Amino acid sequence: MKALLVVAHGSRRVESNDEVRALTGRLGAQAEGIYARVECAFLELAEPSIPDGLRAAIREGATQVIVVPYFLSAGRHVVTDIPAEIEVVRKEHPDIDIVLAPYVGAAPGLTELLLQQALKTGRDSD
């Protein structure tokens, strides 16, 4: 069974974490037929942690987990911290395929998305 884990930074603001959870819910609907399970986890300040998120997926039968960092830039969190968290669970479950995907900020489609947000102001045709 293939699972997807969206990994966000986590915030003291409950609303920010809930925003990630809502996005994950929408993603789950969209990813139907590709990933049997789509959940989120947080690097800090919110639950579940990345190891706990991975363990939950494995407990539910995932044999492969794709981890997508919900980050805009390749800072320390993306380059060092997230891989280290994943490594903890890889050691616990060497039989499970845990794959780190490129972070969201690296997606070529981001410029198109920025442009869409700008055009949404509806102030572009005057």
Of positions 46, 71, 85, 86, contacts its own copies by CB under 8 A: 71
Write out 2-40 in H/E/C secondary structure.
EEEEEEECCCCCHHHHHHHHHHHHHHHHHCCCCCCEEEE
Q: Rule CB under 8 A: is residue 45 a binding residue for its own copies?
A: no
Contact 68, 4 (CB under 8 A): yes
Nearer to its own copies by Cβ, of 95 and 112: the residue is: 112
Q: Rule CB under 8 A: is residue 61 a binding residue for its own copies?
A: no
Listed ranges 41-49, 52-60, 62-70, 80-88: which one lies at the site for its own copies (CB under 8 A) = 62-70
CA dist., res. 38 & res. 55, Å (int): 13
Of positions 1, 45, 74, 88, contacts its own copies by CB under 8 A: 74
What are 39's two structure tokens?
């959940």
Looking at this protein, which amino acid is placed at residue 121?
T
What is the binding site for its own copies (CB under 8 A)?
2, 4, 6, 8, 11, 13, 15-16, 19-20, 23, 26-27, 30-31, 34-35, 64, 66, 68, 70-76, 97, 99-107, 109-121, 123-124, 126
